[in-house]
């Protein structure tokens, strides 16, 4: 859904007589919209666009899921596939190999490593199976080269350092499988650091000793350190130890939405001073503090009640549950944050640290999704909103990819590893 609509025939009919009567203001207000749309269309096509965080492999792992099919996000929960990436004119995507935090004994770490490795294989296979549309990317320069070739560049990010266990050699292993960033933690503390959302609170007081080694190894390899999800203390520890800039691949501004997953102004300022970039998350509850809605809560409670404990559900029942949950989401779509709310975060970061330290990491297929940009096909609405607010093409190019790719390049250059062809 576009926030700006092209001039309708009715509007034209009204204007022409008005023009004859020299009703200048009406003409101006109607003329403004198509101009903005044309500008936004042109800019959106011109600039390279990359989303730095999509949990699409979670969908790809589902039986019967085909990246070549166009899915209805409200019925299937899927927010990214090839037809919709093409509709959104996306040029590059960090597909995320994600694993939630689990038990931390050595057998569980081995199992996590195996599971994570499977996700990498899944991504490689999907790119190979769709070689006419997608190409695997490892270096910043690949984005433009692949876009020039008419394809979409697929980079890999690894979400959660949990599968490293306490084995530092695993950093190199996942780098060689194509990971260009590691999100150090997810929802719970791990061997590397504290999470911003562990229900039991911090345990290391920031980075652990092993975590410090991980940061050094990532610096050595020229790998991006993703500070999304980690605790505030861990963030400051990483910033102090890392010899390269750091990135937040999917984090918003806490000043606008008070959630521990978001970055405070002080964190954003220090990250920018260090040359890094914040990729704004489009997960509604991180963009705008949810307004309590008793009807929605009652519907959700009834759904949970009728299905019973999640861990006892069969795969089939889990799919049914998911489908019912999507219906509730759609019913209360109006409660979601909007593109305008999202761009408020971009504005805030720009006002705080300038145009060079902000980008887009929507967290699609991982909880992200705005009322008027619910899947990857609708990303032009972000460009339209930026144009409406007066951002130039140069600024929009920085937001959509320039800033992130610059930081990616700098981090990679500062490492000592040459990229091996896979
Ligand atoms: Zn995440």
**18 CA → ligand 1 middle, Å:** 53
CATH number (domain holding residue 146): 3.20.20.140
Dump the DSSP string for 336-380: S--HHHHHHHHHHHHHHH-GGGEEE---BTTT--BTTB-SGGGTH
Give domain status of residue 375, yes or no: yes
Instruction: Quick: pLDDT tens for 362-416.
Output: 999 999 999 999 999 999 999 999 999 999 999 999 999 999 999 999 999 999 7
Query: 22, exposed or middle or buried, with CB in 10 Å at 0-12, 13-18, 19+?
Result: exposed
Q: Is the model more confident about 14 or about 261?
A: 261
Which residue, among 225, 222, 276, 284, has the nearest Cα to 256 in the 3D structure?
284
Give domain status of residue 374, yes or no: yes
Instruction: Quick: pLDDT tens for 315-337.
Output: 788 878 888 888 888 888 888 99
Q: Domain range for residue 243? A: 35-293+332-414
What was the pLDDT predicted at 314? 81
Pull the structure tokens for residue 128. 């190979």
Please check the confidence at residue 221 and state whether its pLDDT lies above 60.
Answer: yes
**111 CA → ligand 1 middle, Å:** 21
**390 CA → ligand 1 middle, Å:** 30
- CA–CA distance, 104 with 396 (Å, rounded to integer): 43
What was the pLDDT predicted at 310? 78
Give domain status of residue 2, yes or no: no
What was the pLDDT predicted at 28? 44
**346 CA → ligand 1 middle, Å:** 19
What was the pLDDT predicted at 329? 83
Give domain status of residue 299, yes or no: no
Give domain status of residue 23, yes or no: no
Cβ of 272: how many Cβ atoms within 10 Å?
19
- CA–CA distance, 2 with 5 (Å, rounded to integer): 6
- CA–CA distance, 253 with 259 (Å, rounded to integer): 9
Give domain status of residue 223, yes or no: yes
Q: Note whether 378 and 372 are within 8 A (CB).
A: yes
**380 CA → ligand 1 middle, Å:** 23
Q: How many domains does the chain have?
A: 1
Give domain status of residue 15, yes or no: no
Give domain status of residue 131, yes or no: yes
Q: Note whether 142 and 180 are within 8 A (CB).
A: no
**209 CA → ligand 1 middle, Å:** 23
**159 CA → ligand 1 middle, Å:** 7
Q: What is the mean pLDDT of residues 262-289?
A: 98
């Amino acid at each position: 859904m576009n926030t700006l609509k092209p001039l309708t025939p009715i509007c034209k009919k009204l204007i022409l007589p008005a023009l004859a009567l020299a009703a200048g203001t009406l003409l101006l207000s109607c003329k403004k919209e198509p101009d903005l749309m044309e500008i936004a269309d042109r800019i959106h096509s011109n600039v390279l666009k990359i989303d730095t965080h999509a949990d699409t492999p979670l969908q790809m792992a589902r039986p019967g899921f085909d990246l070549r099919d166009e899915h209805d996000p409200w019925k299937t929960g899927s927010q990214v596939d090839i037809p919709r990436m093409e509709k959104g004119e996306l040029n590059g995507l960090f597909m995320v190999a994600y694993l939630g935090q689990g038990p931390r004994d050595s057998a569980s770490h081995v199992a996590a490593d195996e599971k994570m490795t499977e996700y990498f294989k899944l991504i490689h296979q999907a790119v190979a199976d769709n070689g006419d549309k997608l190409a695997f990317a490892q270096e910043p320069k690949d984005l433009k080269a692949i876009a020039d070739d008419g394809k979409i560049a697929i980079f890999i990010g690894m979400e959660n350092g949990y599968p490293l266990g306490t084995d530092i050699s695993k950093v190199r292993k996942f780098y060689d499988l194509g990971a260009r960033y590691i999100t150090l933690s997810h929802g719970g503390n791990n061997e590397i650091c504290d999470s911003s959302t562990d229900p039991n609170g911090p345990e290391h007081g920031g980075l652990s000793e092993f975590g410090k080694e991980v940061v050094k190894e990532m610096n050595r390899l020229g790998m991006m350190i993703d500070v999304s999800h980690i605790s505030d203390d861990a963030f400051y520890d990483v910033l102090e130890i890392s010899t390269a800039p750091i990135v937040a691949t999917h984090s918003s501004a806490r000043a606008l939405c008070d959630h521990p997953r978001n970055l405070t102004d002080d964190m954003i300022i220090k990250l920018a001073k260090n040359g890094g970039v914040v990729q704004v998350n489009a997960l509604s509850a991180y963009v705008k503090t949810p307004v309590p809605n008793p009807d929605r809560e009652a519907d959700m409670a009834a759904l949970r009640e009728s299905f019973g404990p999640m861990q006892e559900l069969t795969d089939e029942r889990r799919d049914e549950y998911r489908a019912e949950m999507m219906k509730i989401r759609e019913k209360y779509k109006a409660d979601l944050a909007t593109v305008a709310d999202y761009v408020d975060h971009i504005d805030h970061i720009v006002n705080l640290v300038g145009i060079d330290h902000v980008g887009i990491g929507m967290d699609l297929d991982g909880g992200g999704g705005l009322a008027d940009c619910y899947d990857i096909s609708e990303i032009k609405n972000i460009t339209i909103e930026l144009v409406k607010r007066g951002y130039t093409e140069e600024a929009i190019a920085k937001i959509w990819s320039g800033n992130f790719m610059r930081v990616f390049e700098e981090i990679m250059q500062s490492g000592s590893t040459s990229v091996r062809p896979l």
